[in-house]
């Protein structure tokens, strides 16, 4: 390149003809040539009469003129990248001795020519051929690439666990909202203020849960991105020529060695504490209603004060923003069973919260069409969901070997006669048996989970396209489907064993 050639020529112009290094304190002598002040003084001391070392003209020792312009240029040349000073199209050479570079100094991390190698500055150092040094560092890079790959897998697994824990937390918040609504509906007039506060509290916790999920995903993704960029840079190093590979190699390796996954906390203890306090408050009201109706208002004010005082400034700002934006809090409707769309072999409780499977010879003979979601006998839940979030829990009871299905399905699945009838997912469910549970869609069956559950929770975030299953007793996450809903979805329930039953709550 023209710029590189110019830089090389400029370097020659600011090189002292005596020491062959960049000019230091340059001076111009009578004939117009330039030298380092120290170099020309040294020549002058050894001669009675001074002659220019280049043109051999006589010059006066008393007329050395400092050359500030040349000094400034020399400083700029010294500050340039050595690669910019190499002649265009030629092999890299030693900047001082103009010899080819053959060696690499491990201590100083510098390229050396044969002259540099034998100088006192490097003679006692560990020096190898450039290609040998490159091979040694390639091995280190490959080892660290493998190590970073293992860290990548570990972060992904930890990310899944953390996201699951947060989703279960959000499901608990939604479930608590449903319970609150159910138990307060007969006491609306007397407890209106208390209900509004508790729902606001749940809404705030729901918002905090969603916010924590976004923060957790952002932090882990940021570290994954950083890790992958670092891994990619190392892989790119492997493809470089030896000279480029060895440039700043220790810094590159140091960065990858020092990378550590800063494991973020999926769910802060403070949020756990807040939901626990909210649950405790709700339980206290339920147990004390008959005897303490007249005291509820006073206790409510105390609880509200304690909750608000527990918030820091930022939390208080989010709380006030929630109050401003949700002055009319949205209500949730508990899930019930839809008898009109159910398999005729199922019987239902009066409150449409329980379904039991009874099979007789006459019943099975009446079935002339294949069952939806065969082999299960199914019922749809009500109401449907086309936005927002919904949670429900299902207790499974029955004889040994009981099997059940819980999940959500859209209209396409409900109209089809086979769960494999569409190439597009329209069913997201969990198959449950005594030996464990298995997530599946109408398109594929996923990895089996050796998790024995008797009561399973289902949390649907329609807007995020997520269906989360969790153990409703232990509150442990089981599995989360991530999809994109393009139409309304319905809860779906299925039984397989005779006299088995499902019971919905709240």
Is 428 buried (19+), middle (13-18) or exposed (0-12) by CB count in 10 A? buried
pLDDT, residue 1, reads 47
Q: Which two tokens stand for residue 209?
A: 């849960």
pLDDT > 70 fraction of the chain, expressed in percent and rounded: 87
Q: Are 108 and 220 in contact (CB under 8 A)?
A: no
Q: What is the pLDDT at residue 446?
A: 84
Quote the mean pLDDT of the chain: 83
Would the pLDDT of 483 be above 80? yes
Q: Which two tokens stand for residue 338?
A: 């839809």
- pLDDT number for residue 457: 92
Tell me, what's the pLDDT at 364?
44
- So what's the pLDDT on residue 423? 57
Residue 19's pLDDT band (cuts 50, 70, 90): confident
236-255 pLDDT, tens digit each:
888 888 888 888 888 888 88
Q: How confident is the model at residue 428 (pLDDT cuts 50, 70, 90)?
A: very high
Residue 295 has pLDDT above 80, yes or no: no
For residues 131-157, give the mean pLDDT. Answer: 91
Residue-wise pLDDT tens digits, 244-286: 888 888 888 888 888 888 888 888 888 889 888 888 888 877 7
pLDDT at residue 365, rounded to an integer:
42
H or E element: which one contains 408? Answer: strand 404-410
pLDDT of amino acid 79: 76
**pLDDT for 394:** 94
Q: Work out the pLDDT band at 368, boundaries 50, 70, 90.
A: very low
Weakest mean pLDDT among 263-277, 293-307, 416-430: 416-430
Instruction: Report whether pLDDT(460) > 90.
Output: yes
pTM for the whole structure: 0.57
Q: Which residue has the tokens 């190499």?
A: 86
Distance, in Å, from the CA atom of 203 to the CA atom of 173, rounded to the nearest integer, reads: 8
Task: Please state which of the four CATH numbers 3.20.20.60, 3.30.60.50, 3.30.40.10, 2.40.160.40 is assigned to the domain occupying 2-130.
Answer: 3.30.40.10
Residue with tokens 């299960």: 376
Cis amide prior to 241 (ω within 30 degrees): no
Of 48, 20, 45, the residue nearest 35 (C-alpha):
20
Ranges 162-166, 199-203, 265-269, 371-375: which has the least confidence:
371-375
Q: Which of 55-59, 78-82, 250-254, 382-386 reaches the highest mean pLDDT?
A: 382-386
Check residue 370 and give its pLDDT: 61
User: What pLDDT, on a 0 to 100 scale, did the predictor assign at position 462?
Assistant: 92
pLDDT digits (tens, 9 = 90+) for 189-209: 766 777 778 888 888 988 988
Residue-by-residue DSSP string for 268-282: -HHHHHHHHHHHHHH
Please report which confidence band the pLDDT of residue 379 belongs to, taking 50, 70 and 90 as the band edges: very high
Comparison of pLDDT for 446 and 420, the residue scoring more: 446
Topology at the third CATH level for domain 336-505: Jelly Rolls (2.60.120)
Rounded distance, CA 196 to CA 321, Å?
Answer: 16
| Residues 6 or more apart whose Cβ sits within 8 Å of residue 221 | 159
d(CA 504, CA 506): 6
Whose structure tokens read 């508790």?
Answer: 198
Q: What is the pLDDT of residue 453?
A: 87
Domain range summary for the chain, segments of one domain joined by +: 2-130, 138-325, 336-505
The Cα 50–Cα 57 span in angstroms is: 9
Model pLDDT, residue 481? 92
How many other C-beta atoms lie within 10 A of the C-beta of residue 211?
13
């Amino acid at each position: 390149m023209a710029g590189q050639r110019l830089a090389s020529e400029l370097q020659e112009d600011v090189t002292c003809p005596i020491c062959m290094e960049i000019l230091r304190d340059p001076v111009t002598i009578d004939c117009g040539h330039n030298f380092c002040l120290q170099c020309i003084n040294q020549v002058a001391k050894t001669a009675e009469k001074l002659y220019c070392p280049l043109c051999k003209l006589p010059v006066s020792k008393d007329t050395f003129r400092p050359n500030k312009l040349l000094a400034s240029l020399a400083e700029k040349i010294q500050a340039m990248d050595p690669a910019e000073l190499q002649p265009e199209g030629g092999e890299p050479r030693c900047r001082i001795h103009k010899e080819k570079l053959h060696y690499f100094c491990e201590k100083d991390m510098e390229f050396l020519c044969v002259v540099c190698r034998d100088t006192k500055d490097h003679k006692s150092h560990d020096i190898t051929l450039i290609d040998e040094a490159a091979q040694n560092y390639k091995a280190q890079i490959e080892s660290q690439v493998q190590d970073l790959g293992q860290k990548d897998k570990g972060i992904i697994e930890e990310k899944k666990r953390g996201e699951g824990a947060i989703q279960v937390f959000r499901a608990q918040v939604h479930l608590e909202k449903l319970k609150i609504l159910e138990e307060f509906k007969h006491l609306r007039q007397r407890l209106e203020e208390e209900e509004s506060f508790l729902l606001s509290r749940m809404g705030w916790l729901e918002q905090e849960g969603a916010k924590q999920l976004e923060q957790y995903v952002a932090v882990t993704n940021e570290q994954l991105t950083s890790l992958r960029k670092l891994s990619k840079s190392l892989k790119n190093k492997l493809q470089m020529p030896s000279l480029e590979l060895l440039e700043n190699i220790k810094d590159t390796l140091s960065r990858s060695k020092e990378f550590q996954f800063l494991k973020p906390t999926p769910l802060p203890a403070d949020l756990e504490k807040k939901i626990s306090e909210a649950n405790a408050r709700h339980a206290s009201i339920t147990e004390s209603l008959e005897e303490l109706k007249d005291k509820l208002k006073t206790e409510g004010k105390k609880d509200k004060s304690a909750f608000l005082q527990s918030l820091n400034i930022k939390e208080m700002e989010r709380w006030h923003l929630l109050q401003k934006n949700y002055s009319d809090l949205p209500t949730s409707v508990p899930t019930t069973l839809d008898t009109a769309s159910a398999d005729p072999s199922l019987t239902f409780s009066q409150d449409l919260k329980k379904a039991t499977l009874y099979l007789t010879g006459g019943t099975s003979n009446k079935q002339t069409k294949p069952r939806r979601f065969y082999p299960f006998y199914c019922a749809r839940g009500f109401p449907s969901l086309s936005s927002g979030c919904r949670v429900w829990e299902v207790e499974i009871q029955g004889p040994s070997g009981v099997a059940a299905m819980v999940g959500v399905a859209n209209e396409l699945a409900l109209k089809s006669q086979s769960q494999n009838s569409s190439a597009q997912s329209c069913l997201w469910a969990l198959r449950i048996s005594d030996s464990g549970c298995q997530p599946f869609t109408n398109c594929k069956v996923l990895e089996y989970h050796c998790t024995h559950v008797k009561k399973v929770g289902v949390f649907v975030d329609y807007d995020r396209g997520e269906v989360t299953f969790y153990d409703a007793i232990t509150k442990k996450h089981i599995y989360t489907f991530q999809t994109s809903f393009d139409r309304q979805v319905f809860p779906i329930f299925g039984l397989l064993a005779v006299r088995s039953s499902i019971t919905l709550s709240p």
